Amino acid sequence: MTKLYPYLAFVKKSFLGLSAYRFNHFMGILNTILRIFIFWEIYRALYGGRTEVDGITITMVATNFILSMGLDSVFFVNDYYLPDRIQNGSIATELLLPVSIHGRMLADNLGHALFQLLFHFVPAVAVSVLFIGIAAPADFSMLLLFLLSALFGYGVLWTISFAAQMLSFWLINVWSIMTIKNVFINVLSGSMIPLWFMPDWMRGVIRFTPFSSIYFTPLQIYLGQLSFSEILHGFLIQFFWIVILLSIGMFLWKKGQKKLVVQGG
């Protein structure tokens, strides 16, 4: 347990650091709420007064983008934690510290995510539920499984970023890589466009990627669209991608350290 204390301290430091920027905090809430209401108006226009299209109700769609955008505000990942330290040379100091740099990366992100959960997700979703409304969870067990799946979804998102950041050992600027990564996540995770509306062939392709495991799998569980065997299968897929992506990231980390060239410091 004592080995966890330094990382818990990093989580606390990250959490408290955000509380100092109150204006930025309120703007973050406003940004999430505005995005939700913009998408609500877009889908209302697309549905044209109908309550259901191809078996997908407007309430299901609203639940999808409200919870997905809410989770998106919580699922903070600093894509430039490692690249910035390689560019400014501080990576040399980080490697000398008696703690894992990977643990520091995760702790820093978790502190931010915890802050976002309490002070962005909760108020933004509360306002959205009050003025738009969402479907209730299928039952209490599905709510608990949704929360567990959302935690695994964050793990998938974090390990995608972790693996991508390792490319900074070979690239001077990873901005383009991160931009492409984020586009794929936004489009293929179901956060912007529910995967129900994707063509069958595209949904088949997406199933072989980690992206649907981030947001869409938890949302399907919340809405009660998956049986317990399908939920177990969804958990296994999420766990599979976490292990694979983390393994890729660690492999690149070991290779990258041999090529490390400090750019500054």
Q: In the 3-class helix/strand/coil scheme, how is the chain assigned residue by residue?
A: CHHHHHHHHHHHHHHHHHHCCHHHHHHHHHHHHHHHHHHHHHHHHHHCCCCEECCEEHHHHHHHHHHHHHHHHHCCCCCCHHHHHHHHCCHHHHHHCCCCHHHHHHHHHHHHHHHHHHHHHHHHHHHHHHHCCCCCCCCHHHHHHHHHHHHHHHHHHHHHHHHHHHHHHCCCCCHHHHHHHHHHHHHHCCCCCCHHHCCHHHHHHHCCCCHHHCCHHHHHHHCCCCCHHHHHHHHHHHHHHHHHHHHHHHHHHHHHHHCCCCCCC
CA distance 186 to 199: 17
Is it the case that residue 261 has pLDDT exceeding 90? no
Is it the case that residue 8 has pLDDT exceeding 80? yes
Is it the case that residue 265 has pLDDT exceeding 50? no
At 180, the pLDDT band (50, 70, 90 cuts) reads: very high
Q: Are 105 and 81 contacting, i.e. CB atoms less than 8 angstroms apart?
A: yes
Is it the case that residue 194 has pLDDT exceeding 90? no
Q: Flag whether the pTM goes above 0.75.
A: yes
Q: What is the pLDDT of residues 30-52, one digit of tens each?
A: 888 898 899 899 999 989 888 88
Q: What is the pLDDT of residues 104-113, one digit of tens each?
A: 999 999 999 9
CA distance 93 to 16: 24
pLDDT score recorded for residue 49: 84
24 vs 71 pLDDT, higher one: 71
pLDDT score recorded for residue 262: 59
Q: What is the pLDDT of residues 121-158, one digit of tens each?
A: 899 889 988 999 899 998 999 999 999 999 999 999 99
Q: Of 155, 118, 159, 145, which Cα lies nearest the Cα of 246?
A: 159
pLDDT score recorded for residue 69: 87
pLDDT score recorded for residue 193: 83
pLDDT score recorded for residue 156: 97
Q: Which of 90-99, 114-123, 210-219 has the lowest mean pLDDT?
A: 90-99
pLDDT score recorded for residue 157: 97
